[in-house]
Homo-oligomer: A and B are copies of this chain.
Amino acid sequence: MELDSLFRVVDVTGVVASGLLGGAVARSKRFDIVGFVSLAIITGLGGGMIRDVLLNTGFPVALTDPAYLGGALIAAFVAYVVRLDGALPRRALAFADVLALGCWAATGTIKAAGLGLAFMPCILLGVITAVGGGMLRDVLVGRTPTVFGGNTLYATLAMLGGAETWIFTEILKRPQLGMLVSILTTAVLGVMARRLGWMLP
């Protein structure tokens, strides 16, 4: 129960962090306030919406839990008012982003596993949840999605986090522990990948 609340906090923190990053893109493109709101919603909620549409199980959670849409809107307004390009806010955002990555990879995997899907589709849905929003945002503003290459390793970390979560959920029957491990893994490896400039071949 307490762990659940913790994860929801991480989840919505991820929405806010992604929303702020979406807002930063809107600023760099000199969009108006509607552009900030659109990109914050798309970046923060897009991945989970694609997952829920593919899983075809009623309303996307982003439409029913007000914390999600609310978090994205608040992020949009903060990003519109405050310039987030100092060293500290940037580092804090990048860290929250990488926490969200692990959290979202885990929630996507757990949701798909709970619906009876096999290992590979579960991981795929974890990755889509984690990177789908940023991908949508990049396409909408005319950038090649960063997940396709470069030194962020986002999709790789999401795959790893999803696989760990799957093992903890399906084999060890401890989904919450899996989410914790997934978040820790992506946080540690994500920060190291950024620092050390790790790249895939």
Among B135, B140, B142, B149, the residue within 8 A (CB) of A32 is B149
B147–A38 CB distance below 8 A: yes
Q: How far is the CA of A147 from the CA of B150 in the complex (A)?
A: 29
* 10 further contact pairs, Cβ within 8 A, besides A53-B56, A56-B57: A32-B148, A32-B199, A32-B200, A34-B147, A34-B149, A34-B156, A35-B148, A62-B121, A63-B121, A63-B124
B148–A26 CB distance below 8 A: yes
Mark interface residues in A45-82 (1 if CB within 8 Å of B CB, else 0): 00001000111111110111010011001000000000
With an 8 Å Cβ cutoff, the count of chain A residues facing the other chain is: 52
A148–B59 CB distance below 8 A: no
Return A103 CB to nearest CB of chain B, in Å.
20
Count this chain's copies in the assembly: 3
Is A110 an interface residue, CB under 8 A from the partner?
no
Q: How far is the CA of A120 from the CA of B155 in the complex (A)?
A: 31
Mark interface residues in A74-114 (1 if CB within 8 Å of B CB, else 0): 00000000000000000000000000000000000000100
B56–A58 CB distance below 8 A: yes
A148–B39 CB distance below 8 A: yes
B148–A31 CB distance below 8 A: yes
